[in-house]
Amino acid sequence: MADLIANFTLMLKSLFYQSNLNTINMQGTGFSWLTRPMLKREGVELTAAQSHRLYEYFNTNPSFITLIVGIFVREIKDGKTAFTTKAVYSSAFAALGDSFYWHALRPTLFMLALFVCVNISPLGIAIYPLIFSALHISLLAMGYPLGRHFGEHTILLFNRVKFSRWANIADGMSLFLLGAFIGKLLKGGYSEDLWILIAGLVAFKMGAILYRRINLNIFLWLLIVAIIAILIFWGILS
Amino acid sequence: MSLFWIPLAGLFAMDRRAAFNFMLSRPFVVSAIMGLIGDNLIWCLIGGIFFEIIGLMDLPVGTKISRDDTFGAFAYSLTVITCYIHSYDAALVALVLSFIMMLPSTLTVRYRRHVNAQLFTIFQERSWLERHEGLLMFIGELLSFIRGMFIYSIGALIVIFLYALIYRHVISDIPTSALILLCCLFGGYFSGFFQARGWSKMLFLFAGGAAQWLIS
């Protein structure tokens, strides 16, 4: 029961651990804030140097924070190179989390919410925060026991479930749903005139080509200029 | 502008990076919540989708500060609600203004990190870190909430003010076809963001388009 309460407290605290995000140690203060009570609970006494090192630079994906705290506690309890492991794991999980949570899951949930919103009900928008939060909180809740149990071998667990490939599946879903959204737009345009369908497909392809040629910043400014031009052009015409 | 929106802006700003991470701060969700409360869901969502896609492509990887798309959606939605926007040209004016105001808002995110760094240094120099870690974290949350309340509200007010100045000069009846083409261009650019390449990408896109064409 005490373990459950400690784990639950850690999970709740982990929702706020980025509040001192700064230019010196990024999430280092938050990491120390989460780790210190867990180490105390395990009866680990840190030396002054170790205590100071808890504030070192630390940056990872927020969904994996409790997992890294668990790994760190296990490593330091076993007298291993906990600080090196922490640095390695924070980078590894940052990459894994960024590629799955930021790069793949967010677009997929957005496209899914948009699909449901357009085709079924506006309440479909809730899919986006609900599914993301469910996955985020589940990983935060399970993270500490998993990291504490597997220690430096935790990454094998993620390899076993082929976590790095989940992003590819999510990407496929996003593309399918993006195609559906563009299809909906084009069908609306096609009902007015056939040329809109052809011009729309050409514009889509042009957008895909532009992605490889210019960065997002330039593209967005070009788009804003295009919108202003359209507003002025049709303003004069009408 | 109702005062109700001010604490809501603070909550959105907190969810963005300082706390929760529940995706309540995503532009699509922000515009949906505000659209439902302000009774103008569809027109709020148009901007929400635009800012959402911008935000999705602008990943917060490493130390990078991504554009404050939450502010963009907040300012746009508040303009839509306050000015009763119900036409494409009006929505586009609000969208452009919100996009431009997003830049100073993003700068304040950078500034907040510097303030946090200053606070960290002060706590470290006075040996308060270990004893008062919780206080430092609380101040961080408070700063984030206050930044959201002030910056988002003031930024949105500026957008509304500029909109009121500009809109009557750009009244135009934009054809739907021009907007569809712009959306297709934007969608094409967004499709480049995904990892699938070549035929598999085309296959997924075509299958989605065909399925939607058949069911709608």
Task: Tell me the per-residue pLDDT of B48-57, one tens digit each, with 9 for 90 and over.
Answer: 999 999 999 9
Share of chain B above pLDDT 70, in %: 98
* Mutation to test the B interface, candidates A13, A17, A20, most B Cβ within 10 Å: A20
CB contact (8 A) between residue B28 and residue A216: no
CB contact (8 A) between residue B23 and residue A210: no
The Cα B152–Cα B33 span in angstroms is: 16
Share of chain A above pLDDT 70, in %: 99
Residues of A in contact with B184 (CB under 8 A): 182, 185-186, 200-201, 203-204, 207
The token pair at B121 is 């240094």
Q: Is the pLDDT of residue A72 over 90?
A: yes
ipTM: 0.95
Select from A114, A186, A216 the Cβ nearest to the Cβ of B58: A216
Select from B58, B188, B211 the Cβ nearest to the Cβ of A180: B211
- Report pLDDT for B169: 76
Contacts 24+ apart (CB under 8 A), A193-199: A193/B177, A196/B177, A196/B180, A196/B181, A199/B177, A199/B181
Closest CA relative to residue A41, chosen from A85, A14, A76, A17: A76
The token pair at A217 is 């910043």
- Report pLDDT for A237: 62
Query: Cα-Cα-Cα-Cα dihedral of A153, A154, A160, A161, to 10°?
Result: 180
- State how far residue B97 is from chain A, nearest Cα, in angstroms: 10
pLDDT digits (tens, 9 = 90+) for A179-226: 999 999 998 877 777 888 899 999 999 999 999 999 999 999 999 999
CB contact (8 A) between residue A15 and residue B93: no
pLDDT digits (tens, 9 = 90+) for A28-71: 999 999 999 999 999 998 899 999 999 999 999 999 999 999 99
* Cβ neighbours for A32, distance < 8 A, ≥ 6 positions apart: A54, A55, B129, B133
Count Cα atoms within 13 angstroms, Cβ side, for B89.
Answer: 19
- State how far residue B213 is from chain A, nearest Cα, in angstroms: 6
- Report pLDDT for A238: 62
CB contact (8 A) between residue B116 and residue A114: no
**Residue A46 per-residue DSSP state:** P
The Cα B111–Cα B117 span in angstroms is: 10
- Report pLDDT for B216: 78
* β-sheet bridge partners, residue A22: A26
- Report pLDDT for A56: 94
- Report pLDDT for B67: 94
The Cα A62–Cα A66 span in angstroms is: 9
pLDDT digits (tens, 9 = 90+) for B115-159: 999 999 999 999 999 899 999 999 999 999 999 999 999 999 999
The Cα A173–Cα A71 span in angstroms is: 33
* β-sheet bridge partners, residue A26: A22, A58
The Cα B67–Cα A19 span in angstroms is: 19
Select from A25, A33, A211 the Cβ nearest to the Cβ of B193: A211
CB contact (8 A) between residue B133 and residue A223: no
Contacts 24+ apart (CB under 8 A), A189-192: A189/B176, A189/B177, A189/B180, A192/B176, A192/B177
The Cα A74–Cα B162 span in angstroms is: 57
- State how far residue B128 is from chain A, nearest Cα, in angstroms: 12
A9 touches B at CB < 8 Å: no
Share of chain A above pLDDT 90, in %: 77
- Report pLDDT for A236: 64
- State how far residue A1 is from chain B, nearest Cα, in angstroms: 25
Q: Is the pLDDT of residue B1 over 70?
A: no
Mean pLDDT, chain B, as a whole number? 93
Q: Is the pLDDT of residue B32 over 90?
A: yes
The Cα B208–Cα A176 span in angstroms is: 4
B176 touches A at CB < 8 Å: yes
Average pLDDT over residues A161-168: 89
- Report pLDDT for B35: 96
CB contact (8 A) between residue A176 and residue B204: yes
Residues of B in contact with A136 (CB under 8 A): 21-22
Query: Cα-Cα-Cα-Cα dihedral of A152, A156, A162, A168, to 10°?
Result: 30
- Report pLDDT for B210: 93
Residue B107's CB is within 10 A of a number of other CB atoms, namely 13
- Report pLDDT for B171: 65
A41 touches B at CB < 8 Å: no
pLDDT digits (tens, 9 = 90+) for B86-100: 988 899 999 999 999
Select from B60, B61, B120 the Cβ nearest to the Cβ of A24: B120
Residues of B in contact with A98 (CB under 8 A): 59, 61
**Residue A1 per-residue DSSP state:** -
Closest CA relative to residue B186, chosen from A227, A196, A203, A112: A203
- Report pLDDT for B128: 92
- Comparing A31 with B60, which gets the higher pLDDT? A31
Residues of A in contact with B95 (CB under 8 A): 227
Select from B49, B93, B180 the Cβ nearest to the Cβ of A114: B49
Select from A175, A210, A238 the Cβ nearest to the Cβ of B196: A175
Q: Is the pLDDT of residue A81 over 90?
A: no
Please say whether the beta carbons of B40 and B46 come within 8 A: no
- Report pLDDT for A230: 86
B199 touches A at CB < 8 Å: no
pLDDT digits (tens, 9 = 90+) for A119-145: 999 999 999 999 999 999 999 999 999
A-chain residue closest to B19, CA distance? A16
